[in-house]
Amino acid sequence: MPTTTDQTRPVEADHAVGAAHPDEDQLQRSLQAAIRFAVRILSILMTAVILWGVADVAFVLYQNLIAPPAGLLSITDILATFGAFMAVLIAIEIFVNINLYLRDDVIHVRIVMATALMAAARKVIVLDFSVISADLVWALAGVVIATSVGYWLVGLATGGTIGIGNSRSSESTDDGS
């Protein structure tokens, strides 16, 4: 039987396994603050990248439209423009991911998987199938299918929500429905 203090509490309770030391709590808070600061810096930098990307897309599109024959885009120009648009959209998705890391109530896995799926879709859109091997097409198809299935499974596990956890849990009743 553990010895007790005058307050009838076991002495071992003060040194329980897994109990946080006050210095460790302060260290964890300091580390979390440093990470949150770093994420804010990344958010600012990603905003600059997005704005730069939009300006680049507009500039390249303008250059392609004024080049002879004026007002016409070749298939190569259109595919390059689609790729540039998708790159900006992926940068926006990454920006959203960066900001969502600041929240504790968001399921990060599904958001990251959605970004990966968008990046794979971008690759499929801009591929020139006349110059790539069948092996690369099959590999990319495997990545898209695997990522899609993973995204779907994570959605099932989280109740189909992409933002805040399982919204059904707050609506459940005592009878299990």
pLDDT confidence of residue 167: 40
- Quick one: average pLDDT of 157-176? 49
pLDDT digits (tens, 9 = 90+) for 94-153: 888 788 777 766 667 877 888 888 888 878 877 877 888 889 889 989 999 999 998 889
Show the DSSP H helices in 67-164 as ranges: 75-100, 108-126, 134-157
Contact 95, 43 (CB under 8 A): yes
- Quick one: average pLDDT of 148-170? 66
pLDDT band at 52 (very low <50, low <70, confident <90, very high): very high
* Amino acid at the residue 112: V
Contact 92, 118 (CB under 8 A): no
pLDDT confidence of residue 171: 40
Instruction: State the Cα–Cα distance between residues 92 and 152, nearest whole angstrom.
Output: 22
pLDDT digits (tens, 9 = 90+) for 61-95: 888 888 888 778 888 888 888 888 888 988 888 88
Contact 92, 46 (CB under 8 A): no
Secondary structure of residue 129 in the 3-state scheme: coil
- Cα atoms found within 13 Å of the Cα of residue 173, Cβ hemisphere only: 2
> Between residues 124 and 3, which one has the greater pLDDT?
124
pLDDT digits (tens, 9 = 90+) for 30-51: 998 898 898 889 889 999 999 9
Least confident window among 56-60, 99-103, 164-168: 164-168
| Most confident range, picked from 59-63, 161-165, 173-177 | 59-63
pLDDT above 90 for 2: no
pLDDT band at 20 (very low <50, low <70, confident <90, very high): low
